């Protein structure tokens, strides 16, 4: 049995999308940052960092977006969320995931100008491709989408500022699993700054 601890709109949205994309049964366990549920002893016993996401796999704890997405993709290879049989394509997904976690995710903490420059790097890296790696969506696209979705809603880039990321965002929003996840999380309420 799978259980996902998540906070609406946070980075945990990426594994939330992946679970819906894969059509997996899971127990959704929303955490309220405003009510400091992530600091309660019961949650800290599961994840001592008090962060989300946390995925329970038959009671075993897995944390960090990239690890959870990788696990879900590898456990469900028929879905094609991780390129199969092509080590270079797999390495490109890992490269994207590392870039997103280490460079894109912390960019806003360094100011809006730095964040815009960082999304400019992501824009160039995406290039003319529809998807981050190969000809189909992967876990890298889910991770990239969530961060750009947040940036787009918070900063409101000018039309045409990031056309490739906007097109990628629109392709992702066309997916039923993405729309469903956004609707579920919006109904719970976003508590992010």
> What is the pLDDT at residue 84?
85
What is d(CA 92, CA 37) in angstroms, rounded to the nearest whole number?
A: 36
Q: Return the pLDDT at 72.
A: 98
Residue 163 has pLDDT above 90, yes or no: yes
Cα separation, 160 vs 51, whole angstroms: 34
Nearest to 72 by CA among 31, 14, 29, 27: 14
Write down the pLDDT at residue 134.
82
Mean pLDDT score, 118-138? 95
pLDDT of residue 145: 97
Q: What is the pLDDT of residue 161?
A: 95
The per-residue pLDDT for range 35-82, each reduced to its tens digit, is: 999 999 999 999 999 999 999 999 999 999 999 999 999 999 999 999
* Closest to 31 in 3D by CA, of 57, 9, 2: 9
Listed as own residue / partner, the contacts of 85-91 with beta carbons closer than 8 Å and 24 or more positions apart are: 86/134, 89/133, 89/134
Q: What is the pLDDT of residue 123?
A: 96
Quote the pLDDT of residue 193: 60
Positive/negative CA dihedral, 142, 145, 149, 150: positive
CA nearest neighbour of 192 among 33, 14, 26: 33
Domains of the chain: 2-77+178-188 (3.40.30.10), 82-175 (1.20.1050.10)
Q: Whole-angstrom Cα distance, residue 185 to residue 187?
A: 5
């Amino acid at each position: 049995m799978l259980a996902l601890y998540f906070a609406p709109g946070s980075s945990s949205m990426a594994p939330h999308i992946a679970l819906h994309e894969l059509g997996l049964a899971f127990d959704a366990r929303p955490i309220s940052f405003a009510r400091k549920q992530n600091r309660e002893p019961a949650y800290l016993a599961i994840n001592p960092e008090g962060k989300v996401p946390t995925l329970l796999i038959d009671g075993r704890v897995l944390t960090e977006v990239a690890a959870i997405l990788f696990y879900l993709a590898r456990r469900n290879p028929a879905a094609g969320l991780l390129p199969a049989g092509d080590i270079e394509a797999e390495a490109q997904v890992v490269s994207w995931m590392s870039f997103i976690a280490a460079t894109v995710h912390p960019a806003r903490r360094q100011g809006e100008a730095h964040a815009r420059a960082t999304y400019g790097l992501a824009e160039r890296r995406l290039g003319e491709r529809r998807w981050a790696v190969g000809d189909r969506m992967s876990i890298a696209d889910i991770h990239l989408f969530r961060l750009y979705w947040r940036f787009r809603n918070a900063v409101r880039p000018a039309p045409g500022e990031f056309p490739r990321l906007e097109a990628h965002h629109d392709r992702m929003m066309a997916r039923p699993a993405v729309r469903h996840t956004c609707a579920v999380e919006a109904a719970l309420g976003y508590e992010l700054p």
